[in-house]
Amino acid sequence: MGSSTAASSDRRVIQIPVEPGLICLRGLSPTRLRFEVEYGLERGTTANSFLFQPDGDDAALLVHPPGASFAEPYLEALAELVASDARLQVVVGHTNPNRVKLLHQLARRWPHLELISSNPGAQLLRELWEQRKPAAPGTAAAAEPETLPPLPPLQVVRGELRLERSDGRCIELLPTPTPRWPGGLMAFEENSGLLMSGKFFAAHLCSEAWAEANRSSTEEDRRYFYDCLMAPMVRQVETVLDRIDELAIRTIAPGHGPAIAESWRSLLVDYRRWGESQERAKLSVALLYASAYGNTAAIADGLAQGVARTGVRVESINCEFTPAEKLLEAIRSCDAVLIGSPTLGGHAPTPIVSALGTLLAEGDRAKPVGVFGSFGWSGEALDLLESKLRDGGFRFAFAPIKVKFSPDAATLKTIEETGTALGRQLQSEQRKAQRRSGAGGGLSESRSNPAVLALGRVVGSLCVLTTVKGSEEARLSGAMVASWVSQASFTPPGLTVAVAKDRAVEALLHVGDAFALNVLAAGRETAPMKQFLQPFAPGADRFAGLELEHSPSGQPVLPEALAWLECSVKQRMECGDHWLLYAQVQAGAVLDAAGTTAVHQRRSGANY
């Protein structure tokens, strides 16, 4: 399938002909766009939009325009295809300040612009169209602020809308609201069976190919996107899946990443399967928030991913678009409440003030709470939340998270680890309550099972896995004690290591990531075990105070180790509560030829 290109810096836009009269305009960014959690694999991204070219009396129809990050090359490519005096209809499937900036530019260059959005999307468009970021306190506002174009005519999709075109195409528009994307809107072209799914089924990776080569080539990227953004709202995701089950789909083209042409059915099955553990979870955290510029939502995403790693369900609630009764139900049924807010004009948004009132009136003081949010020049909203909850007798799960503007990579990792710590805390309290009630008295069935006792006799070498990723302000590091390690291949030399899903270091061990495996020496394992088995506060440096050496790729090596191996992750397999990593050995050395390997003896296969 041929393509042409428009470029700007390292971002460019290519034209991919999908069918006669239908072109995919794909923005390509080989580098990470932002520090939001869903970009954590650092494989770049694509932004896909779809142009149905004008035919007869039909206007040009543009589905899912990107954000302003791609503005210059995108507008250049679009201008090649649509004359400035032509009618241009734009289906806005996702609304945020970044996309509104691009819509401003579309309105200037195409005066006959019309917008189509869902009802919540229309509400957001009206709120954001004239919105400007406030000037810093003590600084003069711009003498002549940029003149914004008027909001174009707006067509609102309340149930479903069919757009029938003179060339025989019929595009069905389906609102797909979720807490993270309340204005979500999918587009389905009936003749070709093409579902333009927006955020659903997306993956952040930079690819020029129209469709994925096969299911396995993008599985990790799509699973990562799901875990970051879909898992906290699994019930709403299930509703959307039920809705699109009735469509005669032949290809799914999401807003990010390549299309899914051959294996879209298995992807739908995976989406349901990935959500099962969240649905089965006995513990839950209610995540209440509003987000003006997306920064508070980014913090919410990080907390949600950290909590979900522990197997605790997250109930995501966007306070701007959630009915009062649903908010009340979530507060009453959950085991912890996290509430997040931006500060706008020195105040919390009205929906957050209302949610705070409900929490103060109906919340259980025995359940932990947390406060989070972003701010530009002041943080009065966060101070309000914290003071009201403290005065109301609530106990805090963690110190309030206050981020100026948007979180960077290190801050985001700390936020994720904060969520993980909360999930573990809830599980610990649950186990204690079960012991007090006698529900878990004596040995559990699994611990007394002869097969589980026999499993404990499988011996593993004691190792410390260490890793660093990124550089300068984006540098992240992690470490853990590993005893479930085994050689897996001779050619190439490879090994497997099991990593619990709630380990902080797990986020740094995806395909393509590197790590060092430090094999500990018998008789000298106590000091490194003590160092890396101690509880670390969220965001703490696991290597503080240590003198380290480094492998050829810069991975941390413990000088007191018996041997070390530098490895690169090649595959990941989900195994219950662990990920099993297969890694190929790139380098290594024996540091003590006379020493022997420390091993870990267990009484039962029910624990480490």
The full 3-state SS of 16-67, as one line of letters, equals EEEECCEEEEEEEECCCCCCCHHHCCCCCEEEEEEEECCCCCCCEEEECCCC
pLDDT of residue 437: 77
Instruction: Select from 188, 183, 156, 157 the least CA-distant residue to 171.
Output: 188
The predicted model gives 382-403 an average pLDDT of 97
Exposure letters 202-219 (e unless 16+ CB within 10 A, then b): bbbbbbeebbbeeeeebb
Average pLDDT over all residues of the chain: 93
Helix, strand, or coil (residue 144) = coil
Residue 147, pLDDT > 90, answer no
Classify residue 432 as exposed, middle or buried by CB count within 10 Å of its CB (0-12, 13-18, 19+).
exposed
The predicted model gives 529-547 an average pLDDT of 95
Residues 6+ apart with CB under 8 A from 153: 114, 115
Residue 61, pLDDT > 50, answer yes
pLDDT of residue 9: 63
Helix or strand (DSSP H, E) at 206: none
Residue 441, pLDDT > 50, answer no
CA distance 119 to 116: 10
Residue 134, pLDDT > 70, answer no
Structural Rg of the chain based on CA atoms: 26
Assess contact for 188 and 199: CB atoms under 8 A. no
pLDDT of residue 607: 87
Assess contact for 16 and 3: CB atoms under 8 A. yes
Model confidence band, residue 135 (pLDDT cutoffs 50, 70, 90): low
Question: Which tens digits make up the pLDDT trace of 444-465?
Answer: 456 678 999 999 999 999 999 9
The predicted model gives 350-364 an average pLDDT of 97
Assess contact for 290 and 351: CB atoms under 8 A. yes
Model confidence band, residue 138 (pLDDT cutoffs 50, 70, 90): low
* Phi and psi torsions of 538, nearest 5°: -55, 130
Least confident of 62-76, 145-159, 169-183, 587-601: 145-159
Beta-strand (E) ranges in 274-356? Answer: 284-289, 313-318, 336-340
Greatest distance between any 2 Cα atoms in the chain: 84
CA distance 39 to 273: 23
User: Quick one: tokens of 34?
Assistant: 């932002």
Residues 6+ apart with CB under 8 A from 535: none
HEC states along 451-502? Answer: HHHHHCCCCEECEEEEEEECCHHHCEEEEEEECCEEEEECCCCEEEEEEECC
Half-sphere exposure of 412 (CA within 13 A, CB side): 26
Q: Cα 6 from chain centroid? A: 29
- Global pTM reads 0.91
Assess contact for 121 and 146: CB atoms under 8 A. no
pLDDT of residue 5: 63
Helix, strand, or coil (residue 382) = helix
CA distance 131 to 151: 12
Helix or strand (DSSP H, E) at 84: none
CA distance 200 to 194: 14
Residues 6+ apart with CB under 8 A from 174: 160, 185, 186, 187, 188, 243, 244
> For strand 185-189 and strand 170-175, is the pairing parallel, antiparallel, or unpaired?
antiparallel
Question: Which tens digits make up the pLDDT trace of 191-228?
Answer: 999 999 999 999 999 999 999 999 999 999 999 999 99
* Phi and psi torsions of 196, nearest 5°: -90, 95
* Cis geometry, peptide bond prior to residue 492 (ω within 30 degrees of 0): yes
Share of the chain above pLDDT 70, in %: 95
Helix, strand, or coil (residue 137) = coil
Residue 6, pLDDT > 70, answer no
* Phi and psi torsions of 397, nearest 5°: -75, -30
CA distance 13 to 78: 10
pLDDT of residue 350: 96
Instruction: Select from 343, 331, 355 the least CA-distant residue to 379.
Output: 343
CA distance 456 to 192: 55
CA distance 251 to 265: 10
- Residue that wins the pLDDT comparison between 20 and 33: 20
CA distance 33 to 273: 29
Residue 537, pLDDT > 50, answer yes
Helix, strand, or coil (residue 81) = helix
Strand partners, 62: 51, 90
Residue 3, pLDDT > 70, answer no
Residue 127, pLDDT > 60, answer yes
Domains and CATH numbers, the chain: 4-130+148-276 (3.60.15.10), 281-426 (3.40.50.360), 451-600 (2.30.110.10)
* Cis geometry, peptide bond prior to residue 559 (ω within 30 degrees of 0): no
pLDDT of residue 442: 45
CA distance 603 to 608: 9
CA distance 174 to 273: 23
Assess contact for 107 and 149: CB atoms under 8 A. yes
> For strand 88-91 and strand 113-118, is the pairing parallel, antiparallel, or unpaired?
parallel
Helix, strand, or coil (residue 120) = helix
User: Quick one: tokens of 194?
Assistant: 């093409």
Model confidence band, residue 376 (pLDDT cutoffs 50, 70, 90): confident
